[in-house]
Amino acid sequence: MEVWALVMFAVLFLLLLLGFPVAFTLGAVAFGFGSLFLGIEFFDLLPLRIWGIMTNFTLLAVPLFVFMGVILEKSGIAEQLLETMGKLFGRVRGGLAISVVIVGALLAATTGVVGASVVTMAVIALPAMLKHGYAPTLAGGTIAASGTLGQIIPPSIILILLGDVIGVPVGQLFMGAAVPGMMLVLAYMIYIAFVAWQHPEMAPAIKLDPSEHRHLAIQVMKSLLPPLALILTVLGSIFFGIASPTESAAVGALGAMLLALMHGKLTLGNLNQAMQQTTRLTSMVFLILIGATAFGLVFVGMGGDELIFELFDQLPGGKWTFLLLSMLLIFLLGFFLDFIEICFIVVPIIAPVAIHLGLDPLWFALLIALNLQTSFLTPPFGFSLFYLKASAPNLSLQSIYKGIIPFIIIQLIVLGLVIAFPDITLWLPNLME
């Protein structure tokens, strides 16, 4: 029966590649194999599992952070940040691209919605970059990579989901992700500065009207202070133990509405759209989670978990071989599957093995989060690439693919550093205990 559990996993993967809806495919495959090998009465346990999901206090942070991100997207903060940072850094070679990275990091720490970040920066920053002579490859790669920072820089939806799946406190995941997130930001900026130094024609400086210099400091303060205040309120309350992630998400949603009000964008129309987007995304996540719960229940019932344990126990090299193989698996699956699908289908299978082999679950969860970030950038199904192409139809796919390769390499280098030096992610959570 254990072998049939692996067959079930293979059937699921094949159906997903054929384009069937994830949530319903998970449920259908689980029901089919479960009924055949375990009997229909086996599913008597499922309602209790679903009830546990729907009453999970931690997962309540998902719709709250999504709502916060959507409201901030509609508030006009991104546009203001991009304009101001462009004036501040644009006077140096590569400065405009560096400003995109900084804004991407700030958007990641406020909105956390990858699609919104990529589309916003593509619509606003890309025309300016191309107008001032930036190479399409560098411009496209910078925007796509910067937009995905919301995957690792807290508050990140994937960190909340991983925390629930692996059983790690979300607050500790947020703290642990802060350092590698900043490493990525710094690495992107160093790469852009290097390209601008080696190939000035790819990232030229832009000339600003002298009149724009007069009030630049005031503009910077007006653009930066509100989102920074929100970031410090949301993340600071978690880091210092003042509030749980769910409570801080509620504060963040309120803060986002206040910022939108300050910008004159808190309208009934925007609120209605934000609530609809939040409902759609949250419903999708929870439907996939319910389907994955059914799949996981059947997989374990058929002895698939024991088979996985035996397979990895027999590997030469022990936990390090397992770690490298699991990271390679997640990286390759990122070419074809969405990060939510990987989180709910693959992670519940490999996470118990990691804990069994003695790997720190917090560190392992952060490695997965870093690895999953690449899934947004790797063709053929890299969602950030599609967001960018849809927002910039004049930018060729060839330029996008070529421009994104250096940033994928940077992400893999940072992942390698975190594997080699676990304290990069663990020192801050340990400090705050």
- pLDDT recorded at residue 211: 58
Tokens matching residue 265: 């964008």
Average pLDDT of the chain to the nearest whole number = 83
- Cis upstream peptide for 380 (omega within 30°): yes
User: What phi, psi does 259 have (nearest 5°)?
Assistant: -65, -40
CA distances for 187 relative to 24, 62, 122, 139, 333, angstroms: 40, 29, 21, 16, 25
* CB crowding 414-431: b at 16 or more within 10 Å, else e: bbeebbeebebbbebbee
Question: Which residue shows structure tokens 């959507």?
Answer: 70
Does pLDDT of 6 surpass 90?
Answer: no
As a whole-number percent, the residues of the chain with pLDDT over 90 amount to 12
Mean pLDDT of 72-82: 76
Tokens matching residue 3: 């072998």
Query: In total, how many domains does the chain have?
Result: 1
- pLDDT recorded at residue 232: 82
* pTM, full prediction: 0.86
The domain containing residue 362 runs over which residues?
2-432
Mean pLDDT of 134-145: 89
Q: Are 206 and 90 in contact (CB under 8 A)?
A: yes
At 203-238, the pLDDT tens digits run 887 776 665 556 666 777 777 788 888 888 888 887
Rounded Cα distance, 275 and 267, in Å: 12
At 149-180, the pLDDT tens digits run 888 888 888 888 898 889 898 889 989 998 99
Q: Are 362 and 425 in contact (CB under 8 A)?
A: yes
Which of the residue ranges 83-87, 155-159, 290-294 would you say has the lowest mean pLDDT? Answer: 83-87
At 106-116, the pLDDT tens digits run 888 776 667 67
Rounded Cα distance, 279 and 67, in Å: 9
